[in-house]
Amino acid sequence: MIGKRIGGRYEIEQKIGEGGMAIVYRARDTLLNRTVALKVLRSQFGNDDDFVARFHREAQAAASLSHPHVVNIYDIGQEDDMYYIVMEYVEGMTLKQYINEHAPLDVKEAVDIAIQICDALDHAHQNELIHRDIKPHNILINKFRRIKVTDFGIARAVSSVTITHTGSVLGSVHYFSPEQAKGIAAGAKSDLYSLGVVLYEMLTGELPFSGDSPISVALKHLQEPYVRPRKLRPEIPQSVENIIARAMAKEPMYRYESAREMLEDLRTCLTSERRSEAPYVLPEKYAPEEDPEITRVIPAIKPEMLRKRSWDEEEGHTIREIPAVSAAEKAPVQEEEEETEERARPVPWKKAIGWTGGILLFFVLVGASIFYGFSWLGVPPDVVVPSVQNLPLEEARQKLEAVHLKPAIQEQFDNTVEAGHVIKQNPVANMPVKEGTEVQLIVSKGKPKATMPNFVGQNIDEIESQLAGKYKDYKIEKEPSEEQPAGTILRQTPAAGTEIVAGETEVRLVVSDGQDKVTMPNLVGLTEEEMKAKMERLGLRLQLERAPSYKPEGMVIEQSYRPDNRLERGTWVRVTVSSGLPEEARRVKEEVDVYLNPGEKANIEIKVTDATGENKTIENYTITQSIKFQIPVVLSPSKDALIQVYKDGQLYQEKQVRYSDFQ
């Protein structure tokens, strides 16, 4: 295949991987000039029309995903009998290879990888796409330790045909959820179970279940407990083990409700407030045991029960079969029974009375059974499980006990169900069960609560990103502080350690504005004396500089801080004052004649535009006779002067003075 061009544009460069369903090549997209990953399906899949149709549907659905932790699908196609997928090329290795090289991983690194995978699952689940085959082999990790999940939706297509590649099945079955092991359709919670297994493997370097065949591993997922991660590696925080326990619950009802819920748990599990939280406790039937070889109490086995399996074996715990009693061992007992029977044989009249009494007793028992049911014989009658979902716990308990059912309580946080009310029940409502059956009730502890962190003493710039989106709202107020640098958080509400529901909490932070501050004024245009008076009044220190300028000598022409800046008292401010005209400037006087008729009276206004400013009024008064004005102007190499004379408001005379005339 190396060097071959597929689809007229994908030139195969190198084989980079191989699995149960496909061979993966690195290829060059000659049309867009980019490197891609080309996954070519094995020939056995192309012979099934149902698979081909399903494969196209699922690949197209996966192509709709757009997320930084999901491998993008660019194209799907067919060439002769070969089907292929064109995907984003990720330079790195599979997570399985990374685990093999580095396991057990650092706890923070493992949690960070799990967060990225869970983020990808949340995006896919919200787009109604289930992966169904989450395992380290389908997770890529690049050189920057960033995660990309691949093969979304492909597992659903592959499940429509028989996979005979044993290695592929064995590789996947280690991460199967119990419902997948049963052959039940996998849902979103199956992906979360598989992610729990991946996190377990990253942290311990071991798989929770292993065996010689796919069947034996699948049965362990269904029936057996796993060794708790903290028993293998005590430094794992309890909060992290709790996430694994909840994700890997054998019953889906005890797992996270969504990838979003698991993601939020992962993001906070390493905070100081959670590292030593109480263990997450599942009902005893579903909890992982500390010792898989724990001794179990088994009822005595009577002869007629020989070679029968107990209820415990149905749950997956093998009971040793008791060998049948030999004829030689049994013979003495039989002889003894025969002697006893001979001695106890009744005389005829006693036998008649016995038969009559037996018949009467039989009818009494039948009547009692019809009237009362068979519970008095040890067989409890059937009852219908009432619906208690969304009811307050006490009311639910009363309804169950009224029909002789036993409530078993398990609490968990819930964003929608009020605290103290039933979220779920198992068995479900209207199901017939025996009296005395245990009904599992999942009861809401209300919305998830967290301990308010201590922000006091931290810099607002460092923690503001933690506030956005986590709390209902947050407000920052500033106040001067002689002791704490600007930006330091002085006080907070709610106080640190308070139990809160983050999404309903408004946070108020009082932040240091530094020492007492003043507002920088606009000094430009003031005289030197005016500027110094203002600086002294505000408590600012002056760094005075002088520079040539076309502004009048002694006028402020520049300041180092913009007006309205907030400055601490005592701050040095550089102020530049004009030292007079620069050397290249030319100061000249130009004569302007204004003539009046005898007896005439006029208002004269003279304006000048030169190097020192625009439209400056130089003269403005009333004359009664002709007069000659001497008008001073300043010229620069880049600025000539313009003199305009207005008589009674009308432009009377205009005169231009050029810099070049005085060179």
CATH of the domain at 624: 2.60.40.2560
Per the structure, the complete domain to which residue 181 belongs is given by 92-268
List, edge to edge, every strand of the sheet that includes 139-142: 92-94, 139-142, 147-149
Give the model's pLDDT for residue 263: 96
Q: Pick the most confident of 209-213, 252-256, 272-276.
A: 252-256
Count of domains forming the chain: 6
What pLDDT score was predicted for residue 266? 96
**Which of residues 160 and 8 earns the better pLDDT score?**
8
Shared domain check, 144 and 264: yes
Q: Are residues 107 and 230 in the same domain?
A: yes
pLDDT in tens, 452-470: 889 998 988 888 877 877 8
- Domain membership of residue 250 (yes or no) is yes
Q: Is 217 helix (H, G, I), strand (E, B) or coil?
A: helix
Q: Determine, yes or no, domain membership for 11.
A: yes
Query: Which pLDDT value is given to residue 362?
Result: 52
Residue 151 is which amino acid?
D
Do 149 and 37 lie in a common domain? no
Q: Which residues are annotated as a binding site?
A: 39
If asked whether residues 121 and 245 sit together in one domain, one would say yes
Residue of 640, 643, 539, 536 whose CA lies nearest to 585: 640
Give the mean model confidence (pLDDT) for residues 599-621.
Answer: 93
Is residue 133 part of the annotated active site? The answer reads: yes
Q: What's the pLDDT band for 156 if we cut at 50, 70, 90?
A: low
Give the pLDDT of residue 12: 94
- 525 and 495 in one domain? no
Identify the helix (H) or strand (E) that includes residue 442: strand 438-444
Least confident of 180-189, 322-331, 374-383, 529-538: 322-331
- Which of 88, 121, 153 is the last residue in one of the domains? 88
Q: Catalytic pick from 29, 122, 133, 151?
A: 133
- Kindly state whether residues 439 and 454 are assigned to the same domain: no
The pLDDT-based confidence of 200 (bands split at 50, 70, 90) is very high
Tell me: do 127 and 222 sit in the same domain. Answer: yes
153 vs 210, more confident: 210
Cα–Cα distance measured from residue 275 to residue 107, given in angstroms and rounded to the nearest whole number: 12
Phi first, then psi, for residue 64 (nearest 5°) are: -80, -15
Q: Render pLDDT for 616-648 as a digit per residue (tens, 0 to 9).
A: 999 998 999 999 999 999 999 999 999 999 999
Same structural domain for residues 505 and 590?
Answer: no
Domain identity same for 457 and 562: no
Evaluate whether residue 571 is within a structural domain.
yes
Residue 566 inside a domain? The answer is yes
Predicted confidence at residue 342, as pLDDT, reads 42
pLDDT tier at 354, thresholds 50, 70, 90: low
Which of 529, 556, 578 terminates a domain? The answer is 578
Smallest CA-to-CA distance from 154 within 205, 84, 104, 208 is with 84
Q: Please indicate, yes or no, whether residues 244 and 259 belong to a single structural domain of this protein.
A: yes
- Mean pLDDT in residue range 148-169: 54
User: Amino acid identity, residue 1?
Assistant: M
Is the pLDDT at 292 greater than 50, yes or no? Answer: no
Tell which wins on pLDDT, 482 or 640: 640
Per-residue pLDDT tens for 332-342?
434 444 443 44
In a shared domain, residues 83 and 98: no
CA dist., res. 257 & res. 255, Å (int): 6
Instruction: Please give the annotated binding residues for ATP, written as ranges.
Output: 39
Whether 443 has a pLDDT exceeding 50, the answer reads yes
Task: For residues 240 and 99, give the distance between their C-alpha atoms in angstroms, rounded to a whole number.
Answer: 18
Comparing 293 with 110, the larger pLDDT belongs to 110
Query: Is the same domain home to 595 and 464?
Result: no
Q: pLDDT by residue (tens digit) across 5-40? A: 998 899 999 998 887 677 899 999 998 889 999 988
CA distances from 349 to 332, 334, 344 (A): 32, 28, 14
